[in-house]
């Protein structure tokens, strides 16, 4: 039984579906996520990834932006709606330190005060290769939880 469940877990880890949350980002990281990381040159589908439209389908969450006061509640609610097991990737410098928006009255980050972050991908915006590496690392972490 243990071996079977382990095997199924290994198979499952080849199907990580990605969900993007914009927590008040300037859109720079989102552009990198939406286009660069998914154009032919940096195909992430080969890892089995797929962007899903609904948080209910998601396995790996990509969060961009410094977590502004106005979106905080919505982001937390959205995060709770994603069924376990899941892994979180913070994309860009903003979720880590506030980045460009650090110290602003409208920002309540850093993100890991509210949500457990598994992988940080730094950069403003990060390069596509870095995002893909972050996703690959998140898959490793997610596999342990399956």
Partner 1 sequence: MPQSLSLLLAVLLFPGGLFALAVGLLLKGVDRRVAARLQRRVGPPLLQPVFDLVKLSRKRIFVPDSACRPIFLAAPVIGTAAMLLAAALVPIPGVYQPDPLLGDLFVLFYLLAVPAVVLMLAGSASGSPFGAIGFSREMMLMLAYEGPIVLVIAAVALRTGQAEGGIVTFSLSEIVRWQQAHGAFLFDPVMWPTLIAFAAFCPANLGIVPFDIADAETELLDGPLLEYAGPPLGLFRVMSALKAVVVLGLGICLFFPNAPAGVAGLLVWALKMLALMVVGVTALRVSAGRKRIDRAFTFFFRWPLACAAFGLVAVLVL
Which of these segments, 65-73, 82-90, 106-114, 119-127, binds partner 1 (CB under 8 A)? 82-90
Given the complex with partner 1, which of 59 and 118 has the nearer CB atom? 59
Sheet containing 87-91: order of strands? 50-51, 17-22, 60-64, 87-91, 119-121
Asked if 11 interacts with partner 1 (CB under 8 A), we say: yes
Q: Which among 63, 62, 60 is positioned nearest to 85, based on CA atoms?
A: 60
Asked if 83 interacts with partner 1 (CB under 8 A), we say: yes
CA distances from 116 to 61, 97, 113 (A): 11, 15, 8
Asked if 45 interacts with partner 1 (CB under 8 A), we say: yes
Asked if 53 interacts with partner 1 (CB under 8 A), we say: yes
Asked if 4 interacts with partner 1 (CB under 8 A), we say: no
Give the number of other Cβ atoms within 10 Å of residue 51's Cβ.
Answer: 17
Which residues contact partner 1 (rule: CB under 8 A)? 8-9, 11-15, 40, 43, 45-46, 48, 50, 52-54, 56-57, 59, 83-85, 146
């Amino acid at each position: 039984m243990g071996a079977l469940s382990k095997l199924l877990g290994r198979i499952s880890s080849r199907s990580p579906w990605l969900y993007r949350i914009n927590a008040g980002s300037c859109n720079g990281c989102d552009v990198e996520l939406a286009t660069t990381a998914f154009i032919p040159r940096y195909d992430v589908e080969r890892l089995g990834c797929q962007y899903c439209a609904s948080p209910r389908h998601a396995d790996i969450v990509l969060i961009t932006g410094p977590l502004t006061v106005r979106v905080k509640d919505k982001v937390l609610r959205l995060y709770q709606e994603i069924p376990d097991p899941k892994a979180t990737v913070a994309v860009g410098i903003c979720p880590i330190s506030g980045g460009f928006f650090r110290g602003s009255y409208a920002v309540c980050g850093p993100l890991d005060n509210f949500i457990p972050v598994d992988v940080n991908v730094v950069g403003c915006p990060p390069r596509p290769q870095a995002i893909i590496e972050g996703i690959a690392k998140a898959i490793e972490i997610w596999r342990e939880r399956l």
